[in-house]
A = this chain, B = another copy of it.
Amino acid sequence: MSADRKSPGYSRSTEDYLKAIYELESEGGPAQTSAIADALGVAPPSVSGMVKRLSESGLLEHAPYRGVQLTRAGRRTALKMVRRHRILETYLTTKLGYDWDSVHDEAERMEHAVSDGLIERMAMALGYPRHDPHGAPIPTKDGEIDEQEALVPLIDVPVGSMAELRMVSDRDPELLRFMASLGLRVGVAFEVIGRQPFKGPTAIRLAGQHAKERDQVIGHELAENLSCVVLEGAVG
């Protein structure tokens, strides 16, 4: 019963840098300075400075002018923050009536203020959920995270296929509100019934819906953000 001190007790900035770097790394290759700056809304020199401190603390390794990679310790902390963030988002929507478009900002602040114990109590109250409200997998307490089965952005799902919406970015509340207004939620199944070229819209038909809301036209930018699993069939 002693693992509950906020361990070394990193600052909010440190935790956010590690989490952002983790997410950038999981898109392949080392995280670059400007991408980190972009993700955190700071200027590139701020990142250079912070990267120096973090690598001196052994949380990441820096190949100058090339990018940055988390060490084992850095990844451990990053995954802890990802778990916190996603448990918090799930708790707020499930237990306190938040909409899925408004939980991100709240979680972004709270993740740095709560104890391990509170996160575990929330997880228990939720029945140890595997996914957050946007479909993202929740790492376990020990830092294990489900490999995503091959998810495909809606723009790449072939016309004629059946697919299911599995995940969407939680970063744009406007987009999430719009999705909700279309009846698009994680878990919904649909058929891709058409797509126009030149970044045109994708047309889908939702499974098990009333006639009025069954067919939807999804713009290109939105379709890029919808991660789906293809269920069957394909047309070249």
Contacts and interface: CB of A to CB of B under 8 A. Distances in A.
A106 B96 CA distance: 19
Nearest to A111: B113
Contacts of A49: none
A92 B121 CA distance: 10
A131 interface: no
A207 interface: no
A92 B118 contact: yes
B113 A96 contact: no
Contacts of A121: 96-98
A43 to B, nearest CB: 20
A115 B125 contact: no
Contacts of A105: 115
8 contacts: A95-B95, A96-B118, A98-B121, A105-B115, A109-B115, A110-B114, A112-B113, A113-B113
Nearest 5 CB-CB pairings of A with B = A113-B113, A109-B113, A96-B121, A110-B113, A106-B115
